[in-house]
Structure 1
């Protein structure tokens, strides 16, 4: 059987031929692309493996003032531009403060907004124009710079440059009199791993400018990291922490309280999204969640009081630590002066450690502090009727504790009845058998102003100045007459122990009887 000689397809199908040709071209292009990609990968890998040195990170530099309009290259165009009244003027053409004030609304911001850190004139422009765009640009740059320099890529060789950056940021924040949100976000991340030594002075200054916020957030982001370092560091670091927290409280009193005041007094001050409107101008107009500023201040004081009690116990009543604890409470008793309806007394542990200390400084200052608290309670009681708050919310319910402090100080320092007084006491309530077991002569007089262990050196100096040379002197000779007591009080005033003298003048009253003897009594504050 032979093979047929005829052809099955006598003509070419044009459509099928075109389809086959398209498929072949498509497959050829895919193969060529894959080959090119493989070649490029090989070249890239070769270049990576061949390069021995990694690329160096570019050092962050604060830019100088520049403008986005190139008017220097076109002087004729510049003259034409400045001819019109509403045409923007590049900031680089502003020479002095007068020219800035005259053209404030026409000034064009520089291309690099970070230049505001080094230019005082530009700082005035930014604060006066109050542009959200400018504030957002600056916050974005600053947050990136701080995170890059201190957290993402820490470089121990560039300490001076980093300190200079922090110094400029703090200086600008003090100029604005408010905290910068970018700095707060930086602190929230940096304090977690901070060792307490790097850039210590600058970090404490940034904390002092931390804006008011709910106490739960303040405690989590700032106070808890500081607490961990506080109890694991030296007494000098503890004092620096107290200085920073005192400055933070002062910032709340002078600046932040008024800025956040409407959300606690005016219900209509809340926006639709739950954030609060501010009563005063702020460059960084960022809303915060609803909270009570009074509650933040009160809980901050209570938090510091707790760590102070433990710190005095740990550091064995260190005199330097006592000084900064007293500085903090001297700021606390000034709260009613700034129309802040909050008053917080120091704990009994703090008060009586100051009274029973071996140095005259804390003894005198705690006496003066009680006088300041009396004034603060009087101011708060007079303003309470104009406020929609209760005595418990403001702290006025602590007036009984203040009266106990006053009674104990008066009976021990002036009346020589520390362990004999029939009045209630917060520190001198002991069983008589315990006092007798001490076998100390005249125990109640040991805490008087002429026998107190912290004042014996001053007593000896006073007696040397007032008694004849060579005579035998004894501290008890001071209480022999009222004239000698008054001379001794003037001496204490001269050696700068003003607190004791002020306490006696404020809380001790003397009534003259017919037989010319004197009866000493303590002035107790009236309850609310």
Structure 2
């Protein structure tokens, strides 16, 4: 019964589609008919035909024949410009655009038959639908013809954009560079001319002497956003068809040979990997294709071993963004280290991130943006470096970000942000994050602190070694050969020299201030303390692990809040952090005798010694409120003695010791319960000095080893009896 019902539905759908196709053919016949009314703009039949073509083109796309026919009609000048421009916007394919359509479009522009406004529309259409072209070899043969369009002021921006997509190394010739430079001198410094020249410089650096300012890094503006939305839908429709032509070879069922295309693929924003050698309906057996060509299509590479054997003959896909889906291709582009690859990928990423996220702030469907961000993050982690296009996107997005949309992905991208001079880093990233930090929930604060921790780790493990290697390479010193293993950046950007260690120190101080305010605002939230202690655990190892010339200590507000906390884990972890600083200062002191270290660290020794004295007096020596210290007044001495007397607390000086501290008294009770007779009344005072070592080992068995580590590190004990 169900099979017959589904069969009826399928037949009904097929009949509806055939009826719709018949109606569309009738409307196209109307446009091609010589008897159609071409002068009256308000003609009812013309309006109906146009609306029918529009609806079908947007819903299911046009066949190749229909698309070419309507292209000829719109470019012939038969109808008014308003009608023809609407027809051009309807040129959306059901699968892909035949190369013949692009060639005809170029021919119509050269003929001068269409009005100048229509010529601009035709060139825009070629730029926007370039990714939908089945092939581009014949169109590339017209490179010189398209290059002549730059002499026209109206066509020049779109011609440069199309040339940017078509350019290969052989196309960069001296006379073309000279023409572009003359044009730039005539019309001024235009971003689209700079963009094409910058690509020429990548291929032939000896022909182009050009420095691209940071403000001109975005060469081509996004045009006709509504039109772009429809073209994007057409691209989504074409994805399943691409699967049948080799784009989804990894989903082929080995038993049946049937390509399985998931529904998710229809909505995927990242294109599939298709090289120029295997596109369109002309795809043959891949092994035959590989044997006939000197280059090997990337679709044939199935393993890392095959990549190693054919890396010198590998043909990258026409849509460079498809490398985001393939780990094999990611290894390939990382090996090539070619500027044109990074430029193509960077341009695509910038446009796509703006289109999917920045330009749709109130979109209810965020699945596409999330998939795109996930793939970008995976690629970023693979490269272990930030992508400049993503950084440009982040800088713009953070100024309008609500702190909620795409939060895990945005913060993950921020954690790979490159190292800049601190004022610049503060303006680009830190200041927008600071504003969000103080108006967000405690859980969002925790995520941001984790991001700051990952940023710091990225700075000291990746960015500083890379910067040192690049600087050493520029100076021609021996350090460049030692640091070449770090100089693996795929996206090279020029930076002025700056004090990178100074940036890291100021960054730590910035985060320290944020954290100090956050723990007060959130009433010492346990989860917040976990993340801030993780941050300081990294900071307390910078000198010994990563050879920084300075030492940074946490603020007193953080240290003493952890010491007086009711959470035993916080006390133990802070004790471990204080122990790590002993190694840090010892290493700094040894280096200060021979090496160039920061003398400002010397000023931190006195406050750090005060931390040690306060910890010792409070946890071990039972001197929490006594004022007989020689370095500084103890932390708790600010409390007047008469106030302490009025509390009538028995033994206030040992009230915060390891035996009676509110966070540890439960462990003292458990220890006594295990070691004392059953009927004996238990009190922390029963733990005599000779039994304290056993009690400390008891704490260690319960994962509070920080307390024992602190006492063994900083306190000299005369007796170690067990």
If the TM-score is normalised by the length of the shorter chain, which range does it land in?
Answer: 0.7 to 0.9
Map Cα deviations across residues 117-161 of structure 1 (whole Å, 9 max, x no partner).
001111111001111110110000011000111112446243222
Map Cα deviations across residues 312-334 of structure 1 (whole Å, 9 max, x no partner).
11111111111111010001112
TM-score, normalised to structure 2's length?
A: 0.60
The match for 1:474 is 683
Question: What is the CA-CA distance between 1:81 and the residue it aligns to?
Answer: 4.9
Stretch moving more, 138-147 or 440-449? 440-449
The match for 1:287 is 494
The match for 1:398 is 604
CA contact (8 A) 2:501 2:548 kept: yes
The match for 2:625 is 419
CA contact (8 A) 1:188 1:221 kept: yes
The match for 1:445 is 654
Map Cα deviations across residues 345-400 of structure 1 (whole Å, 9 max, x no partner).
000011001111111111111111100111122223333445333321xx243111
CA contact (8 A) 2:627 2:637 kept: no
Stretch moving more, 211-220 or 169-178? 211-220
The match for 2:669 is 460
Change (3 A) 1:42 1:91: closer
The match for 1:389 is 597
Superposed counterparts of 1:182-197, under 5 Å: 182-197=389-404
Q: 1:358 and 2:358 equivalent?
A: no
Map Cα deviations across residues 296-319 of structure 1 (whole Å, 9 max, x no partner).
111110001001111111111111
TM-score, normalised to structure 1's length?
A: 0.81
- Please, which of 583, 587, 591 is the counterpart of residue 379 of structure 1? 587
CA contact (8 A) 2:574 2:706 kept: yes
Distance (Å, rounded) in 2 between the aligned partners of 1:397 and 1:265: 31
Q: Answer 1 or 2: which has greater helix percent.
A: 2
Stretch moving more, 146-155 or 326-335? 146-155
- Please, which of 463, 470, 473 is the counterpart of residue 256 of structure 1? 463
Question: What is the CA-CA distance between 1:288 and the residue it aligns to?
Answer: 1.7
Distance (Å, rounded) in 1 between the aligned partners of 2:84 and 2:289: 49
Distance (Å, rounded) in 2 between the aligned partners of 1:106 and 1:371: 55
Q: 1:317 and 2:524 equivalent?
A: yes
CA contact (8 A) 1:66 1:111 kept: yes
The match for 1:273 is none
Distance (Å, rounded) in 1 between the aligned partners of 2:347 and 2:391: 13
Distance (Å, rounded) in 2 between the aligned partners of 1:99 and 1:213: 39
Q: 1:99 and 2:306 equivalent?
A: yes
Map Cα deviations across residues 198-252 of structure 1 (whole Å, 9 max, x no partner).
1111111111111111111221121112111211111111111111111111111
CA contact (8 A) 2:625 2:634 kept: no
Map Cα deviations across residues 81-101 of structure 1 (whole Å, 9 max, x no partner).
55xxxx433323334322221
The match for 1:223 is 430
Question: What is the CA-CA distance between 1:469 and the residue it aligns to?
Answer: 0.7
Instruction: Give structure 1 stretches of 5+ with no counterpart.
Output: 1-35, 271-276, 518-528
The match for 2:337 is 130
Change (3 A) 1:426 1:245: farther
Distance (Å, rounded) in 2 between the aligned partners of 1:300 and 1:225: 14
Asked which structure has the greater CA Rg, the reply is 1
Q: 1:367 and 2:578 equivalent?
A: no
The match for 1:62 is 270
Q: SS of the residue aligned with 1:226?
A: helix
Alignment RMSD: 3.1
CA contact (8 A) 1:335 1:341 kept: no
Change (3 A) 1:487 1:95: closer
Map Cα deviations across residues 232-284 of structure 1 (whole Å, 9 max, x no partner).
111111111111111111111221120112577898379xxxxxx99612100
Distance (Å, rounded) in 2 between the aligned partners of 1:283 and 1:258: 15
Distance (Å, rounded) in 2 between the aligned partners of 1:283 and 1:342: 30
Map Cα deviations across residues 14-62 of structure 1 (whole Å, 9 max, x no partner).
xxxxxxxxxxxxxxxxxxxxxx999989945578999xx9865324731
Distance (Å, rounded) in 2 between the aligned partners of 1:201 and 1:477: 51
Superposed counterparts of 1:91-170, under 5 Å: 91-154=298-361, 156-170=363-377
